[in-house]
Amino acid sequence: MTGLDLKDKRILVTGGAGFLGRQVIAQLERAGANPDKITVPRSSEYDLCVMENCQRAAAHQDIIIHLAAHVGGIGLNREKPAELFYDNLMMGAQLIHAAYQAGVEKFVCVGTICAYPKFTPVPFKEDDIWNGYPEETNAPYGVAKKALLVQLQAYRQQYGFNGVYLLPVNLYGPEDNFNPNSSHVIPALIHKVYEAQKQGQKELQVWGDGSPTREFLYSTDAARGIVMATELYNESEPVNLGTNYEISIRDLVELICELMEFDGEIVWEADKPNGQPRRCLDTERAKKAFGFTAQTEFKQGLKNTIDWYRQHAQ
């Protein structure tokens, strides 16, 4: 496949200083992008909820990869649904418009698996994305991000603007957010087990009943997929990025406990929310459209993440 040559392109990566963003920049450089032409707007200088900042960020860029998001786990989604809706919608909608105004050649928008309906047939196919309302706890975030897909399709139709939309499944890996107030399930569990071991606890309390299933994509694989789409994918249809490997939360907790050698009792807090019942992606479109398949085996990815956390935990 011959695609976009990144060598001389000026590339803006929003969220480029974050967990996924650092990996995307590394993969862009591996794909031949010039490090001196990659710009990472910092949120302290560029609040993307303000249109003028989006216009400033988009000026003189050839490619924009929009990773920046206000995001967290079930707890944050329940506590701050309005902020999650507003921030994600405004950042994305204004940046897409500013990119169109500035004549940006390509816009790569990274969406969210939370956009899928609560009861989507498994594995999730991209064509099912409009067949129902998202799971309630993360719907405001999911709907805000899904609106950006509509915007990109509309701008392609009316203006010929080349915007593509990717749907990565839950990410994990070294450098993830391990803050228990806002982290996703894998880093939250690793942190929880680590703290229990440190304090000599013999019980581990976990939200829900362990029945939901999830799929997880290692951050390096996700970044590689995003860069491959940047080079090779130019269509309006959204594309899943995942592994097509499904694991229950119960099995995940047991695996993390095994890898971290925690032998205490797991206590399921069944009165707490489970979130979406099942998540597993159909990954055929990414494979056919730009040759992407995940490479990191799940257990190995978990080991890498645990090792990194142990080295960096305070």
In the block, tokens 């000599």 appear at: 200
Structure confidence at residue 276 (pLDDT)? 77
Q: Is 103 annotated as a binding residue?
A: no
Structure confidence at residue 141 (pLDDT)? 94
Q: Is 145 annotated as a binding residue?
A: yes
Structure confidence at residue 183 (pLDDT)? 82
Using alpha carbons, select from 46, 74, 2, 290 the residue that is nearest to residue 166: 290
* Two structure tokens written together for 179: 């803050």
Q: Is 173 annotated as a binding residue?
A: no
- Contacts of residue 256, defined as CB under 8 A and 6 or more positions apart, other chains included, come to 186, 189, 190, 193, 262, 302, 306
In the block, tokens 């899904």 appear at: 146
Structure confidence at residue 194 (pLDDT)? 97
Tell me the C-alpha distance between 261 and 215, whole Å: 23
Q: Is 20 annotated as a binding residue?
A: yes
C-beta atoms surrounding 203 within 10 Å:
9
Q: Is 181 annotated as a binding residue?
A: no
- Contacts of residue 300, defined as CB under 8 A and 6 or more positions apart, other chains included, come to none
Q: Is 299 annotated as a binding residue?
A: no
Give yes or no: 172 in active site.
no
- Bridge partners of 239, per DSSP, are 166
* Two structure tokens written together for 113: 């698996």
Using alpha carbons, select from 150, 33, 177 the residue that is nearest to residue 96: 150
- Bridge partners of 218, per DSSP, are 172
- Bridge partners of 168, per DSSP, are 241
Within 120-162, residue ranges assigned H as helices are: 139-159
- Contacts of residue 196, defined as CB under 8 A and 6 or more positions apart, other chains included, come to 203, 204, 262, 264
Q: Is 19 annotated as a binding residue?
A: yes
Query: 11-28 as b/e, with b when 16 or more CB fall inside 10 Å?
Result: bbbbbbebbbbbbbbebb
Consecutive 10-residue averages of pLDDT for the chain (314 residues): 90 96 98 98 93 98 96 76 96 98 98 92 96 92 97 98 97 92 88 95 93 95 98 98 95 97 94 85 98 97 98 86
C-beta atoms surrounding 126 within 10 Å:
18
- Contacts of residue 204, defined as CB under 8 A and 6 or more positions apart, other chains included, come to 192, 193, 196, 253, 257, 262, 264, 265, 266, 267
> Which of 141, 194, 218, 233 is labelled catalytic?
141
Q: pTM of this prediction?
A: 0.93
- Contacts of residue 244, defined as CB under 8 A and 6 or more positions apart, other chains included, come to 123, 215, 280, 281, 282, 283
In the block, tokens 């489970």 appear at: 274
Amino acid at the residue 151: Q
Structure confidence at residue 1 (pLDDT)? 62
Q: Is 192 annotated as a binding residue?
A: yes
